[in-house]
Amino acid sequence: MDLAAVPMWPQKCKRSVGLSAGFVGHAVRRAVHMFAGAMSFSRLMEREAVVRLAVEEIFAKRLLSFMKTLRQEGDAEALSCIAAQLCNAVPLDWTEGPGGLESLVSFVKECLEGWEGGAGGDTAAARKNMEDMRRFLARVDGAV
């Protein structure tokens, strides 16, 4: 799971050290891909095991702090991109409520609520990402 770790360097450090932003970006992409890879085992493993690996180990322990930092810094474009990729990785047949996805569902809701009125970015990509996040919530949010 160390491969899914995302460094929490302050923005000042990232601006001062030339390649650090690229390193952090690569770490985030790797963690998101590991999340999606774990979710792809949903038909082979019990849902509880997939949730433990993808949601608890990768999302909650390795990505969530970084994503909260992005939200505090107001980087809605990057945050919506990451969140949409996570939402799209959840299997389409997981429609019987969040069942272990509560932390992801809760964070996505907080982001969308904070972006009401256009604060979530005004590019076509950001709007598409937010729409993907809303579709995810509509699909799995029955019990939250």
Q: Domain map of the chain by residue range?
A: 11-140
Q: Stretch 10-15: mean pLDDT, rounded?
A: 59
What is the pTM assigned to this prediction? Answer: 0.85
From CA 76, how far away is CA 51, in angstroms rounded? 26
Cα three-residue angle 32-34-38, rounded to 5 degrees: 120
Of residues 74, 77, 83, 72, the one with CA closest to residue 28? 83
Do residues 76 and 23 touch, judged by C-beta distance below 8 A?
no
pLDDT at residue 116, as a whole number: 78
Give pLDDT tens digits for 66-98: 899 888 888 888 899 999 999 999 988 776 666
